[in-house]
Amino acid sequence: MAWRIGRKKKKDMPTGIWSKCSECGSTIYNKELVASSMVCPNCGFHHTVGGRQRIEMTVDPGSFIEHFTDLRPEDRLNFVDKVSYAEKLEKAQAKTGNSDACIAGVAKIQEHEVVLSILDFAFMGGSMGEVVGEKIARAIELAEEKKCPVIIFSASGGARMHEGAISLMQLAKTCAALNRFKEKGGFSISVMTNPTTGGVTASFASACDILIGEPGALIGFAGPRVIQNTIRQELPEGFQRAEFLLEKGQLDLIVPREEMREKLSTLLDYSAHGNRVRA
């Protein structure tokens, strides 16, 4: 039997009683933060949302059916830095209750059937290894099969270096699937949330039909620290934030979290698939 939201312990919620907002420094009760969809009540910053909470706040209640849960990552290169990759995987699995950083499945958004794919930053920084790449590709192919749109939410530090060139090849794998989907008339939406960088931004997250950013989200190819180390200058104000990208012509639109479901539904209405579903 497929499982639904709410049946599982929510392990991707903030722990402790209160958190400090990284943007404005104010102290917020975690209950309040979760209730406000992780948007700071003081400054409005859109903090990273856990994968499960994202599903809950995006789809019609109870409509999400998860797929591809049998895919499990492996430490194929026997990658060891201070600890082994295998150990890191186990820790991340215990912490999040998920097998890897991608959660994918079928859901409804205001009655529109969609395939939804979400990168969970809580799992090794949402990084993309083989299983994440495979799940994204399968999600796109599932949408192709079901003739419905695919929506991908990203929060990721990029490709997972513990899988070496295998993780690099996931850029190609996910784009191969998107190219095919596009050729067959599929409609894809990418939502980039704080933060989305590296090989994720440089592949499927920027290769969808419509590119959405959440307010204030850090979105870029190289991380700000890497850039600062390269150019050895102060970075401009607001650099690599969603608003900056929009101004530079790199995003189609910015959608605040509280309007996300509504806006996605409107976009789905416009897509050919959306019409078909409605008819």
Partner 1 sequence: MASQKKKKSAETSNILPFEKPLEEVRSRLEELEALAGKTSQDLGEELEFYRDRLNRLTKEVYSDITPWNRVQVARHPDRPLVSDFIDHCCENWVELHGDGSFADDRAIVTGLATLGTQRVLLVGHRKGRDTKGRMACNFGSAHPEGYRKALQKMRLAEHMGLPIVCLINTPGAYPGVAAEERGQARAIAENIRDMFALKVPVVAVILGEGGSGGALGIAVADRVGMMENSWYSVISPEGCASILWHSADGREKAAEALQLTSEPLLRLGIVDKAITEPSGGAHRDPEGALEELKEQILFWLDELLALPPEQLLEERHLKFRNMTRSISVLETAMNPAQTGHEEPLPDPFSASERRAASLEPTQEPDSEA
Instruction: Please report, as residue ranges, which positions from 33 to 52 form the binding site for Zn ion (by CB under 5 A).
Output: 40, 42-43, 45
95 touches partner 1 (CB under 8 A): no
How many angstroms separate the CA atoms of 158 and 221, rounded?
9
DSSP annotation of 61 reads T
Restricted to residues 23-62, the positions that interact with partner 1 (CB under 8 A) are none
Choose between 28 and 102: whose C-beta lies nearer to partner 1: 102
107 touches partner 1 (CB under 8 A): no
Residue 60 token pair: 């019609």
Angle between helices 51-58 and 260-270 (to 10 degrees): 60
How many angstroms separate the CA atoms of 89 and 96, rounded?
11
Partner from Zn ion, partner 1, none contacting 2, C-beta within 5 to 8 A by type: partner 1
List phi, psi (to 5°) of 261.
-60, -45
Min dist CB 199 to partner 1, Å, is: 6
Q: Quick one: residue 31, left, alpha or beta (phi over 0 = left, psi -120 to 50 = alpha)?
A: alpha
Partner from partner 1, Zn ion, none contacting 42, C-beta within 5 to 8 A by type: Zn ion
The span of 41-49, 71-79, 116-124, 259-267 binding partner 1 (CB under 8 A) equals: 71-79
Min dist CB 6 to partner 1, Å, is: 12
Q: Are strands 18-20 and 27-29 parallel, antiparallel or unpaired?
A: antiparallel
Choose between 21 and 227: whose C-beta lies nearer to partner 1: 227
Contact 81, 62 (CB under 8 A): no
Contact with partner 1 (CB under 8 A) among 12, 113, 120, 144: 144
How many angstroms separate the CA atoms of 96 and 81, rounded?
22
3-class DSSP state of 48:
coil
Q: Which residue has the tokens 């099969």?
A: 145
Min dist CB 142 to partner 1, Å, is: 7
Contact with Zn ion (CB under 5 A) among 14, 23, 97, 261: 23
How many angstroms separate the CA atoms of 158 and 258, rounded?
26
Min dist CB 242 to Zn ion, Å, is: 16
Contact with partner 1 (CB under 8 A) among 34, 65, 246, 254: 65
Contact 160, 127 (CB under 8 A): yes
How many angstroms separate the CA atoms of 22 and 42, rounded?
12
Partner from Zn ion, partner 1, none contacting 3, C-beta within 5 to 8 A by type: partner 1
260 touches partner 1 (CB under 8 A): no
Q: Which amino acid is at 275?
A: N
Partner from partner 1, Zn ion, none contacting 150, C-beta within 5 to 8 A by type: none
Min dist CB 1 to partner 1, Å, is: 6
Partner from partner 1, Zn ion, none contacting 21, C-beta within 5 to 8 A by type: Zn ion
Min dist CB 27 to partner 1, Å, is: 30
Binding site for Zn ion (CB under 5 A): 21, 23-24, 40, 42-43, 45
